[in-house]
A and B are shown apart, each in its own frame.
Chain A
């Protein structure tokens, strides 16, 4: 079954609003990463976050291992934040198992 459930599938916001993206895992969590995928397809690593909270500019990632979930928060969104956000957990072979992505659209 689906090991990584990502929500929402799509999200439309006005510029300046905050975005909250979620990932839930059906199995225990070794580690996880958040990625941004540009419209052209290249993947940019945003966070490698096995547990706890990490910050990077307007982005915050929080992973709670015992609850098997991770979130990505984008504050004061900008139109350039538009794109697809992907989460992935690491399995026992240290390979990434991916969520289906959140398509984020920020309107001016």
Chain B
């Protein structure tokens, strides 16, 4: 049963545009994450957000930024997309730091 929801499922855009992806969890969890999965299926952490504390992976370009209105929502904004941003973006949540993580279905971004 899906409890981490992501929209949209797919998004196609052009270089330089701004995009925003939504993530909502209904599990009552305190911590949320964003991961990127590239064309080779390799997954990398981008951000984690716990009690308003943001942890950023140092390799994430500054055009990426997470946005949270409450602990159930963590959106991902990309200010000016680049071709290398084409990937699947996966959102996850956990009860707190160090606990099991649960994933949404992902958003596939294609940058033309």
Contacts and interface: CB of A to CB of B under 8 A. Distances in A.
Contact of A98 (B42, B97, B99, B102): B42
B70 interface: no
Say which size band chain A's interface belongs to.
20 to 34
Interface in A80-98: 84, 86, 88, 90, 93-98
Contacts of B40: 100
Contacts of A93: 48, 55
A30 B103 CA distance: 20
Contacts, number: 55
A105 B98 CA distance: 32
Prevailing SS type, chain B contact patch: strand
Contacts of B66: none
Nearest to B37: A41
A33 B108 contact: no
Interface in B34-55: 35, 37, 40-45, 48, 55
Interface of A: 30-31, 33, 35, 37, 40-45, 48, 84, 86, 88, 90, 93-98, 100-101
Interface of B: 31, 33, 35, 37, 40-45, 48, 55, 57, 88, 90, 92, 97-106, 108
